[in-house]
Amino acid sequence: MMRKTDFAFWTFLMMAVLAGATTVLNVSRTYSATSPNSELYRQLDLFGDVFERVRSDYVEKPDDAMLVESAINGMLAALDPHSSYMSPKNYRDMQVQTRGEFGGLGIEVTMENGVVKVVSPIDDTPAAKAGILANDLITHLDNEQISGLTLEQAVEKMRGPVNTPITLTVVRKGKDEPFDIKVVRDVIRINAVKARAEDDIAYIKITTFNEQTHTNLVKAIDEQKKAIGDRLRGYIIDLRNNPGGLLDQAIAVSDDFLDKGAIVLTKGRNNEETQRAQARPGEAVEGKPVVVLINGGSASASEIVAGALQDHKRATVIGTRSFGKGSVQTIIPLGSNGAIRLTTARYYTPSNRSIQAKGIDPDIQIEEELPDELKGKVVEKPRGEASLRGHLANPDAKNGDKGAEPAAEGTEKKPEESGSSSYVPKEPEKDTQLQYALSFLRGTATGPAVAKPADAPAANPAEPGKETPVPN
C-alpha cells in the first residue's frame, strides 16, 4: 500500500496542479535538486508541461478539475483492471452497497421506455406497505417527470433521508388514469442471503458479500434447521454469479463451515505484509455435508469461500470454473475528494495456491444447457480475469505468461485460463447444477463427474437492452 508520506506528496502535487502548472514545475524541480528520485521528478515536470499546454492551447477552455481527475484515472487504470478513482458520488454509492442498507423505498426497479418499471417491491418495506406492485410504471417523482433521466438518476431521487416523504405517480395495468402514491422513506436493508428448503436439503444463495452477509447467513441457517428439522441432510451454498465484496465477510462466511485451519492468505508487495486468516472452533452447520455451486460469474470473495472449503475438503464444489479474481483492493479515502480503490495484495487459498487469472476448478464439473433462444446471443469466449486487459499475472503461471515467475526446478506451472459460462436457469427444475447437487447430497447422483468442457459460451440471461434491476 502507498506510504502515507508518499500519498501526502501526491495529494500536495495535485492541489498544486489545480493552482497552476507553474507551481507544479517549481515544486518538482525543488525536490529534484536534492532527491535521489530525480528521474521521477523529471517525469512530474513533464506532466506539468503537458498540463499547462493543454490549459493554454486546447481549442476550448478545459475544466482543470476534470483534467486532474482524468489524469488520476489514467494512472490507476494503467495498473490493473480493478484499481480506480471514485468521485465523491461514486464513493458514497460504494459505501451504500457495502453497508447493505440505505434510506429508500424498498423496490427493485429497472428502466423501460423512458420510465421506471417496478420489478418487485421488497416485503415489509414502505413501498410494499403503500401498495406499490410489480410491473407498476413510475412516471413522476414529486410531480417531476422521470423522462430524460437515467436509471441511476431516478434511483438517486427516490433514495433519501429516513422519514422523508416522496410522491410517486404510477401507471398500472387495469387502471384508466395515472394516480399518486405517497411513500415515506425508511431504512432499507439489502438481504444478500436467500434460503429455502428443498425438501430435506437447505438451499442458501449468497448474492454478494456486504456488511450484512454473515449475519444474514447465520439467520438463514438457523431458520432452515428449524424448518427441516431432523430430516436435514445437508446444505447447498449457491455462489453462482456472486461478484464478491468484502474480504472480512468472505472470511466470516468460510468460518461458518470450518472449525480449524487457514481460510485465506493475503500477500502484499513485501513479506511483512503477508496475513493469514484462521478459522475459529465450531461450525454453524454442525458437520452436515456441504455443496458449493460456482460458475464463471463467481468472483473474488466467492472464490475465497469456495477455495477454502475445497482445500479443507469441507465441501464439494460443483459447477464450472470461477472468474479468477485473486486480488485484494483497499479503499483509500481522499476526504471530500472521493477515494481510490487500489490493489494492495493477492490472496491465496489455504493450500497456498493463487487463483488469479485461473479461477477455482470445481470438484465435479457440470455445465448448464443453454436454451435455444440464448444460443445465438452469447459471446463466443467466456470472459474471466485472464481476458481482462492489464490483469495481474498469476505468480504460478506457466513460463511465457505475462509477468510469470520462473518455474521452480521439478515443478510444472499451468497456464492462465479464461472463465466459464455464467448462465443459470430461473426455474429450479431446469437448473442442471442445482439438481445434480441435490442428487449428490442424497446419494443418488449418477453419470460422469465431468459432463462437458468448461469453455462453453457465457450467457447473459437478461434481455438485450434491459438494465439490471436496482434496489432503492
Number of domains, the chain: 3
Q: Domain boundary at 134, 166, 189, which?
A: 189
Residue 358, φ and ψ in degrees, nearest 5: -130, -45
Grid-cell match 441511476, residue found: 152
Task: List C-alpha distances in Å: 194 to 14, 40, 284, 432, 435.
Answer: 45, 52, 17, 19, 18
Mean pLDDT over 147-154 rounds to 86
Q: Are residues 182 and 216 in the same domain?
A: no
Answer yes or no: do 160 and 39 share one domain: no
SS3 111: strand
470 or 114, which is more confident: 114
Catalytic residue among 28, 325, 354, 358: 325
Q: Tell me what pLDDT residue 452 has.
A: 38
| 445 and 302 in a common domain | yes
Evaluate whether residue 152 is within a structural domain: yes
Mean pLDDT of 166-180: 93
Same domain for 141 and 105: yes
158 & 201 share domain? no
Residue 332 pLDDT exceeds 90: yes
Residue 244 lies in a domain: yes
On whether residue 91 sits in a domain, the answer given is no
Question: For this structure, is 325 an active site residue?
Answer: yes
Classify 32 as helix, strand or coil.
helix
Would you place residue 5 in the very low, low, confident or very high pLDDT band (cuts 50, 70, 90)? very low
What pLDDT band is residue 254 in, cutting at 50, 70 and 90? very high
From residue 209, how far is each of 212, 230, 302, 375, 435 by CA, in Å? Answer: 8, 30, 8, 31, 25
- Indicate if the pLDDT at residue 30 is higher than 60: no
**Which of 183 and 416 is assigned the larger pLDDT?**
183
All cell numbers assigned to 185: 422513506
CATH assignment of the domain containing 263: 3.90.226.10
- Indicate whether 208 and 274 sit together in one domain: yes
Q: What is the mean pLDDT of residues 337-342?
A: 94
Say if residue 33 is in the same domain as residue 144.
no
Average pLDDT of span 319-346: 94
For residue 279, give its domain range.
Answer: 193-463
Is 300 considered catalytic here?
A: yes
Greatest Cα pair distance in the chain: 78
Asked whether residue 92 is domain-assigned, the answer is: no
Catalytic choice (28, 83, 84, 300): 300
pTM for this entry: 0.77
Contact (CB, 8 A) for 133 and 154: no
Res. 246: pLDDT tops 70 = yes
What would the mean pLDDT of 370-377 be, rounded to a whole number? Answer: 73
Together in a domain, 410 and 375: yes
Contacts of 78 (CB under 8 A, 6+ apart): 390
pLDDT of the residue at 148: 84
Find the range with the poorest average confidence among 81-85, 173-177, 418-422: 418-422
Please check whether residues 284 and 395 belong to one and the same domain: yes
Same-domain check for residues 394 and 292 = yes
Kindly name the residue from 311, 396, 431, 455 that is annotated as catalytic: 311
Residues 46 and 115 in one domain: no
Q: What secondary structure does DSSP assign to 42-59, as a single string?
A: HHHHHHHHHHHHHHHHSS
CA–CA separation, 194 vs 202, rounded Å? 11
Distance CA 235, CA 241 (A): 18
Residues 161 and 72 in one domain: no
pLDDT of residue 12: 42
Residue 88 domain flag: no
* pLDDT score, position 153: 87
Output phi, psi for 115, to 5 deg.
Answer: -125, 165
Q: Is residue 89 part of a domain?
A: no
Could you tell me what percent of the chain has a pLDDT over 90?
A: 57
pLDDT at position 378: 56
Quickly state the pLDDT bin for 13 (edges 50, 70, 90). Answer: very low
Question: Which of 122, 157, 189 corresponds to the end of one domain?
Answer: 189
For residue 223, is pLDDT > 80?
yes
Residue 38 resides in a domain: yes
pLDDT band at 55 (very low <50, low <70, confident <90, very high): very high
What is the pLDDT of the chain when averaged over all its residues?
84
Would 336 be classed as within a structural domain?
A: yes
Domain boundary residue, one of 189, 205, 227: 189
Segment 52-68 shows an average pLDDT of 94
Residue 311 annotated to the active site: yes
Where residue 260 falls among pLDDT bands split at 50, 70, 90? very high
Band the pLDDT of 458: cuts 50, 70, 90: very low
